[in-house]
């Protein structure tokens, strides 16, 4: 029996998730056939959506966090910047990020993912490239603000976008795969910075300048390809057969409002701002963004503070980030299996706390370096649990789009505070204590 025939049969008139009489072999056979069809559908959907979205976020996180690698390569010395000025540059990124997240998701709802997400990517690629050409502190501040503004829409936009394609119980693991690109970016960032830093003096530019230029140009190239690779919404899907498209639509119709054809209304935007639960989601994310973005920006400096040379510190950021990637995915699998989030959030926070306690203690360099694995693994794995709450629980397409952005916007205020913690660099003791 084909999927189409199953969908048209009287037995399928009710929800596909309805339990059937296990004593009826025909019904058992139909249920088994549907399960296989859904499994194949999900596999195909994952392959069409997740790789390109994960690459987009990898480049986004790479372009925002590579300033930590550039600092080790002489950015602040060449631009005659003090440590407080450097921290202001980091803060300026999140000022743009916080302000423009909600407007960006509103634009996404009014336009289309295929148009808006690659356009944002081109804009932040240009901003990232310009960071390699700035002559002074003031211009770096301005370009960093533009980078935050243009990158702001990707994360909440994709979280909302995935909520339009998957059932609620399926979203967390997919968002976790997407979010794992953040830690992968840290790993690749260290490798790239080590290699690109050797271009110091090429074309009369410093190694840190080439880090921004090359990684920014790479983003622009991938963005141009993304216009062909990013898909819109399920109602316009073209990569499924008619039977698969019918199954996809029936799954979503039973579980969400993804196919409701909702029109844009400002009233839905207002509803999101009035919803107390949305603000609580944002406040929960504050506790995650505080160490998350701080660690991604300062890990090279933290490792260098242990006594490693700058070039070695670049490479030594790679292993902790690979561990963080693995823990992010394993935590998502565990949460999905046990249908629980809170224990995994608490467990990740506890693991990170142990890491910061070790960094504050008088242990050997090897043990303190191991602590960075605990910090990265705990922080990244806990954060992914929090990020998908609005996508799962807020109904109404536009309200959900605004809620996803508002959560990230409110939560990212923690990053504004976090970027000012390591004021005593190169000594990182005070920053570790504040994060703990």
pLDDT tens digits for 31-90? 778 888 888 999 999 999 999 999 999 999 999 989 988 998 899 999 999 989 999 999
Q: Assign domain 48-257+265-435 to its CATH superfamily.
A: MFS general substrate transporter like domains (1.20.1250.20)
Above 90 in pLDDT, residue 295?
no
Confidence of residue 149 (pLDDT cuts 50, 70, 90): very high
Q: What mean pLDDT comes out for the span 243-266?
A: 82
Mean per-residue pLDDT, 287-293: 84
- Among 12-26, 172-186, 343-357, 384-398, where is mean pLDDT lowest? 12-26
CA distance 41 to 320: 34
| Residue (of 410, 372, 384) closest to 296 by Cα position | 372
Indicate whether 417 pLDDT > 60. Answer: yes
Each residue's pLDDT tens digit, 309-323: 888 888 898 999 999
Does the pTM surpass 0.95? The reply is no
Q: Are 399 and 276 in contact (CB under 8 A)?
A: no
Q: Where residue 391 falls among pLDDT bands split at 50, 70, 90?
A: confident
User: Residue 402: which of 236, 157, 184, 182 has the closest Cα?
Assistant: 157
Rounded to an integer, what distance in angstroms lies between the CA atom of residue 252 and that of residue 237? 13
Find the DSSP H helices in 111-241.
113-131, 137-151, 154-163, 168-196, 207-229
> What average pLDDT does the structure give for the chain?
86
The residue among 29 and 327 whose pLDDT is bigger is 327
Phi, psi angle pair for 420, to nearest 5°: -100, 5
Contacts of 155 (CB under 8 A, 6+ apart): 57, 60, 387, 408
Among 49-63, 285-299, 339-353, 370-384, the range scoring the smallest mean pLDDT is 285-299
Whole-number pLDDT of residue 237 = 84
pLDDT, tens only, 92-132: 999 999 999 999 999 999 999 999 999 999 999 999 999 99
Identify the band that residue 395 occupies on the pLDDT scale cut at 50, 70 and 90: confident
Domain-wise residue ranges, the chain: 48-257+265-435
Q: Is 265 helix (H, G, I), strand (E, B) or coil?
A: coil
What's the rounded Cα separation, in Å, for the pair 278 and 284? 10
Chain CA centroid to CA 222, Å: 17
Q: Closest by alpha carbon to 322, among 380, 364, 367? A: 380
Q: Tokens at residue 319, please?
A: 């292993």
Distance CA 426, CA 130 (A): 27
For residue 265, cis peptide bond before it (omega within 30 degrees of 0):
no
Structure tokens at 380: 């990244």
């Amino acid at each position: 029996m084909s999927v189409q025939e199953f969908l048209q049969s009287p037995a399928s008139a009710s929800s596909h998730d309805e339990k059937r009489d296990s004593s009826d072999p025909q019904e058992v056979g139909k249920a088994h056939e549907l399960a296989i069809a859904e499994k194949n559908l999900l596999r195909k959907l994952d392959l069409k959506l997740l790789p390109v979205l994960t690459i987009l976020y990898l480049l986004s996180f790479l372009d925002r966090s590579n300033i930590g690698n550039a600092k080790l390569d002489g950015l602040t010395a060449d631009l005659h910047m003090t440590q407080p000025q450097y921290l202001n540059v980091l803060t300026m990124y999140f000022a743009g990020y916080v302000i423009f997240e909600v407007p960006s998701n509103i634009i996404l709802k009014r336009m289309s993912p295929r148009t808006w997400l690659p356009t944002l990517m081109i804009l932040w690629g240009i901003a990232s490239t310009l960071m390699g050409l700035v002559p002074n502190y003031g211009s770096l501040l301005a370009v960093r603000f533009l980078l935050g503004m243009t990158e702001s829409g990707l994360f909440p936009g994709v979280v909302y976008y995935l909520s339009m394609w998957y059932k609620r119980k399926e979203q967390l693991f997919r968002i976790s795969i997407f979010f794992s690109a953040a830690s992968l970016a840290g790993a690749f960032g260290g490798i790239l910075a080590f290699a690109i830093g050797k271009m110091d003096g090429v074309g009369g530019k410093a190694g840190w300048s080439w880090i921004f230029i090359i990684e920014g140009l790479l983003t622009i190239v991938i963005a141009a390809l993304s216009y062909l690779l990013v898909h819109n919404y399920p109602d316009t899907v073209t990569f499924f057969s008619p039977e698969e498209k019918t199954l996809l639509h029936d799954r979503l119709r039973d579980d969400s409002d993804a196919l409701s054809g909702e029109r844009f209304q400002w009233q839905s935007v207002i509803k999101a701002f009035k919803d107390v639960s949305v603000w609580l989601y944002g406040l929960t994310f504050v506790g995650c963004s505080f160490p998350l973005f701080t660690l991604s920006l300062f890990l090279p400096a933290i490792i260098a503070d242990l006594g490693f040379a700058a070039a070695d510190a670049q490479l030594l950021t790679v292993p902790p980030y690979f561990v963080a990637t693995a823990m992010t995915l394993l935590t998502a699998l565990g949460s999905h299996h046990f249908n629980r989030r809170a224990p995994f959030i608490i467990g990740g926070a506890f693991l990170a706390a142990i890491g910061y306690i070790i960094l504050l203690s008088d242990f050997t360099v090897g043990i303190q370096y191991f602590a960075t694995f605990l910090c990265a693994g705990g922080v990244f794995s806990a954060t992914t649990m929090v990020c998908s709450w609005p996508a799962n629980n807020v109904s109404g397409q536009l309200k959900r789009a605004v809620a996803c952005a508002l959560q990230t916007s409110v939560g990212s205020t923690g990053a504004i505070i976090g970027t000012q913690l390591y004021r005593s660099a190169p000594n990182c003791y005070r920053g570790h204590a504040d994060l703990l």
